[in-house]
Amino acid sequence: MYTAYFGLKEKPFSIAPDPQYLFMSDRHREALAHLTYGLGDAGGFVLLTGEVGTGKTTVSRCLMERLPENTQAAFILNPTLSSHELLATICDELKIRYRKTGATLKTLTDKIQEKLLKNHKENTNTLLIIDEAQHLQPEVLEQLRLLTNLETNTKKLLQVILIGQPELQTLLKRRDLRQLAQRITARYHLLPLNKQEVAQYIKHRLSIAEGIRALFSVSAMNTIHKICGGIPRLINLVCERSLINAYSSNTAVVNKRIVLLSAHEALGDDYEVTPWWKKPATKIALVVLLIGIISAGAYFFGSYQTQNNTLKPLAIIDASEKNLNDIKPSKQTEITSEEIQNDEITNSIVDKKTNEVLPVDASAQQKQEEVESPITEKESTPAPKEIVQQAPAKAKQVKQEVQAKDIEFTQVEGVSDELLSQFKKALNNEDDTNDTIENINNEDARNQEIDPIEKMPLWVQNGIPQLQFEQHIYASDGQGWVKVNGRDRYEGDTIARELILVEILPQKVVLNFRGEKFTMPALSSW
């Protein structure tokens, strides 16, 4: 069918548990290692659980292929049996001869124990693998435990592997099965594949089928992971249907559109991907955004109206004040003039005509001030906004004048004029120097709060990879860079997995590993 069209020797996505197509991800490799360890000299029970379609049966088939030659294995696929039927099935798998009619539990148990003793004398291990073990009845599990009681001083004569869904773990937590649960020597729960492993899984299957080119786009593989959740059996179903649809539409590479169509055909309506604009979360977000926009618009419109209503009375008051100023000078201007001239009261005279305090030097200009319009004095007064903006500069100027007035200098014999002027200049710049020193101290204190890598916990020191800092360029504007393991890195870059370059300092760098900040020398060799 489509195999010749895509240049494949066989169908690469069959759901049969073929060990040849087993993709040994990190999870499957760990599962196989746990099963192998459980079959050691100690014996007993080994437990392998996982969600439907994660590859448990395929792992067990791979294990059976790797069993040594001196091992006799019995594989039971249908565990929905009674205790009597289970013992009879074990006898059939181990090729034990017994009377079919009238066989009791005792007869079957005795036959199995004789076979176990015979295999032990011949240095042959006996293994029992039960798939879908979550369907076993509690009394059947208890019968299995009684079979494993036959043992020597060093090992069990019967080793049992229970493979099932997560419900098997719940079953073994029953109080009446606690004796069996205590005899489990190895446990492993097989998890689905992640996004990277899904892409590797698809490429692995195609390569086993001798596919020489990529048949799935990156977006298609990401969509398959999103739909299937990393379950290998579902991945096989969707990929199989996608290749058929690509062949029917004469398409060389499976794209995202074909995957979405194939998922609906292969998995049913439950796995139909809903467009983002139809999802409930998206609708809620759009409603919240619309409410926020309306609220912000109403707030700014109300503020604009309030500002206009406030400015109109102010304009009327301004016009009224101007009309009043044409008749009588502003009282506020007179008070301000008196406050400004309080510091020079000793050098002032009183004008008998206006009862105002005037400086001696300004007595000659009295007639000119009388001619000037009061409106001019009001217009020369800075606006409140300008006063606020000029306040810091004026405060600094007043502070310098006070310092200059409070300190009197007397030049003694032997001190030159140049030295005295430098001393005055140094006092005037004292505040700026103190601010600079304070900023430097704050910067040093901030840098000292981060501990070096040597003072971090062992899990941090052992978790980061080997780093070789080869070159270091520091810039105060944050545009510096370092060369780590042959690559240029900047602030905010990820150097390795979960290791982030936070900041580049003059002689060291600040790194973040899993939320822990620490420093390292900016160069590995100085």
CATH number of the CATH domain containing 235: 1.10.8.60
Is it the case that residue 451 has pLDDT exceeding 80? yes
Quick one: pLDDT at residue 402?
A: 44
87 with 53, same domain: the answer is yes
Question: Each residue of 68-111: pLDDT tens digit?
Answer: 888 898 999 888 889 999 999 999 999 999 888 888 889 999 99
135 with 147, same domain: the answer is yes
Do 182 and 219 form a contact (C-beta atoms < 8 A)? Answer: no
474: in domain: yes
94 with 135, same domain: the answer is yes
Question: Each residue of 35-73: pLDDT tens digit?
Answer: 888 776 556 789 999 999 888 888 888 888 888 888 898
7 with 75, same domain: the answer is no
36: in domain: yes
438: in domain: no
Residue finishing a domain among 273, 290, 306 = 273
Residue finishing a domain among 129, 160, 190 = 190
Domain range enclosing 464:
450-521
88 with 172, same domain: the answer is yes
254 with 358, same domain: the answer is no
Model confidence at 385, pLDDT cuts 50, 70, 90, reads very low
Quick one: pLDDT at residue 442?
A: 53
DSSP H or E run through 436:
helix 430-448
Distance (Å, whole) CA 77 – CA 112: 19
Is it the case that residue 162 has pLDDT exceeding 90? yes
Segment 259-265 long-range contacts (CB within 8 Å, at least 24 positions apart):
259/220, 259/223, 259/224, 259/227, 260/223, 260/227, 262/238, 263/223, 263/224, 263/227, 263/228, 263/238, 265/241
Distances (CA, A) of 364 to 144, 345, 348, 356, 357: 123, 17, 12, 14, 14
433: in domain: no
Segment 331-335 long-range contacts (CB within 8 Å, at least 24 positions apart):
333/374, 333/377, 333/378, 333/381
184 with 208, same domain: the answer is no
Question: Each residue of 248-280: pLDDT tens digit?
Answer: 999 989 999 999 999 988 888 766 656 666 777
333: in domain: no
Reading the block at residue 235, the tokens are 């991945």
For the chain, the domain total comes to 5
Residue finishing a domain among 354, 372, 391 = 391
Q: What is the DSSP letter of 363?
A: G
**Residue among 251, 242, 179, 166 nearest 205 (CA):** 242
The model's pTM: 0.51
86 with 40, same domain: the answer is yes
243 with 319, same domain: the answer is no
Average pLDDT over residues 508-525: 89
Distance (Å, whole) CA 88 – CA 372: 125
Average pLDDT over residues 295-313: 75
422: in domain: no
352 with 254, same domain: the answer is no
97 with 163, same domain: the answer is yes
Work out whether strand 184-190 and strand 348-351 pair parallel, antiparallel, or are unpaired: unpaired
135: in domain: yes
41 with 158, same domain: the answer is yes
429: in domain: no
Mean of the per-residue pLDDT values for the chain?
A: 77
Distances (CA, A) of 117 to 112, 156, 352: 9, 11, 135
